[in-house]
Structure 1
Amino acid sequence: MRKILSILSLSILFISCQGQTSKSVETAESNQPIKTLAGIDYETKLLGTKNPQLLDVRTPEEYSGEHLENASNVNWNGSDFTAKVEKLDKSKPVFVYCKVGGRSSQAANKLSELGFKEIYNLDGGIMKWQGKKTSNSVVTPKGLSVSEFEKLINSDKKVIINFSAKWCAPCKKMAPYLTKMQDELKGKIALIRLDADENKTLLETMKLDELPVILIYENGKETWRHLGFLSEEDLRKQL
């Protein structure tokens, strides 16, 4: 009987410890200063915050093309990023975003290190944002039109389209092997690399909201697509 009671006591104690551990982890997570929110949640929180500190951490060139309404531009890759954000109120919420989420995530971590208490990062960046933007109407659309793109992929050869950007870290990792494959497959497969920032209208029309992008076409029809980093080995499997 004593053995049974001992076992029951240990079981209750074990369950109790598990419950306390789970609770403490949940509490710790809820107290984290950085919260990455999807577009709709980010917009709701932004609109519900009085005088929000909204930071566009892209380059000035990207910012001048379009940005979220009332956002200030503080370039994450600029040498004065820390000096500029130090002027903000660390006790009040700060919202950050970039093109696809990579730079803003790094900026959010830096803000946390600097002592900011409440930081909101836009998941997927401005490419996935559906809310109000402020666009520079003076900027003339650049890049290929839809009809020009259709001519590009209308070939008797297999066509690989890669959308990338200079600021995109995964794009930079893929660049060496894509350049190599361009030469290696010349005459057999057309591998065409396009700058996403110079073909913004095309990306929006094609509903591509992440980088890098790999699209494969045969006889003018899309047969495969991949968004995000892709290894050389995995791309070659599709050829």
Structure 2
Amino acid sequence: MKKIIENIQIAIIVLFSIIGFAQDKSSNTVSLDVFYSKIQNEKQPQIIDARGPEEFALNHINGAVNFNLESKDYAQRIAALDKSKPVFIYSIGAGRSVWLANDLLKKGFKEAYSLQGGIANWIGSGKPFYVNSKSKLTLEEYKKVIADNDAVLVDIGSKYCGACKKVKPILETIRTEHGSNLKIVEIDLEENPQVIADLKSIHVFPTLILYQNGKIVFKKEGLNDLKKDVDLALAQK
């Protein structure tokens, strides 16, 4: 019984922490332009990648170090930072980075900024980044797929993105119903970062783009009404 009570207490603490982070989100989450500009103004910017080590190893912002609230050496990593200088944090979206930025501010850091849209926004806008492998798809190949098919639905995301995983079953339903009338292309950050960077128009994961006859019919940031919008567009062909 004592153990159960302790677990309940921990759960309550975590819940209120998350609520607190959400309430403070607007105070430290900044646009890509602001984030990038502030980094450029620093001689040795303190950049933190708040994703997991596997994600970081595949790609990250140049000069970033990798840790988050769950890291075993979290306290030591924080102690190594300069509280008097700004800290720039990003994750896959803006979840873990917001939590980390808030924690730094509570610990007395002068400035801590979370990047709106996370790594998707940085790479998807064409900003410089490190990558450990060559993209499987080039921009030229991407354009050829668009040109060679009457209708193409492109799903751009990451296997580490929770919302991106929810798109997959919807895509399967769309694929089953429309068959050869619709080409579906799935582009993930882990295997195709360069084509995402070359598009220079991706600001969040997932992003869904429907092309017809080489032209964009719609571009959705998120999966809301995806199937409905695809069905409607193809019905009007």
* Aligned residue type for 2:72: D
Q: Matched residue pairs, number?
A: 205
* Aligned residue type for 1:196: L
Larger CA deviation: 196-205 vs 45-54:
45-54
* 1:25 alignment partner in structure 2: none
Cα–Cα, structure 1 residues 183 and 127, in superposed 2: closer, same or farther, change >3 Å? same
- Aligned counterpart for 1:73 among listed residues 44, 62, 66: 66
* 1:3 alignment partner in structure 2: none
TM-fit CA distance, 1:32: 8.8
* Aligned residue type for 1:38: S
CA contact (8 A) 2:47 2:89 kept: yes
* 1:175 alignment partner in structure 2: 168
- Aligned counterpart for 2:30 among listed residues 34, 37, 55: 37
* 1:192 alignment partner in structure 2: 185
CA contact (8 A) 2:28 2:101 kept: no
Larger CA deviation: 167-176 vs 64-73:
64-73
Superposition TM-score, scaled by structure 2 size: 0.66
Structure 1: segments with no counterpart, 5+ residues? 1-30
Report which of the two structures shows the higher radius of gyration computed on alpha carbons: 1
Q: Distance in 2 between matches of 1:72 and 1:146?
A: 29
* 2:21 alignment partner in structure 1: none
Identical residues among aligned pairs (%): 29
Q: Distance in 1 between matches of 2:225 and 2:104?
A: 32
Cα–Cα, structure 1 residues 58 and 141, in superposed 2: closer, same or farther, change >3 Å? same
Q: Distance in 1 between matches of 2:145 and 2:188?
A: 15
User: Is 1:151 equivalent to 2:151 in the alignment?
Assistant: no
Cα–Cα, structure 1 residues 70 and 123, in superposed 2: closer, same or farther, change >3 Å? same
Q: Distance in 2 between matches of 1:178 and 1:103?
A: 27
* Aligned residue type for 2:28: K
Q: Distance in 2 between matches of 1:205 and 1:52?
A: 25
* 2:156 alignment partner in structure 1: 163
Superposition TM-score, scaled by structure 1 size: 0.66
User: Is 1:218 equivalent to 2:212 in the alignment?
Assistant: yes
Structure 2: segments with no counterpart, 5+ residues? 1-23
* Aligned residue type for 1:71: A
TM-fit CA distance, 1:35: 1.4
CA contact (8 A) 1:153 1:217 kept: yes
Cα–Cα, structure 1 residues 79 and 173, in superposed 2: closer, same or farther, change >3 Å? farther
Q: Distance in 2 between matches of 1:213 and 1:155?
A: 21
Map 1:84-99; keep pairs closer than 5 Å. 85=77, 87-88=79-80, 91-92=83-84, 93-99=86-92
- Aligned counterpart for 1:104 among listed residues 86, 90, 97: 97
Q: Distance in 1 between matches of 2:214 and 2:223?
A: 24
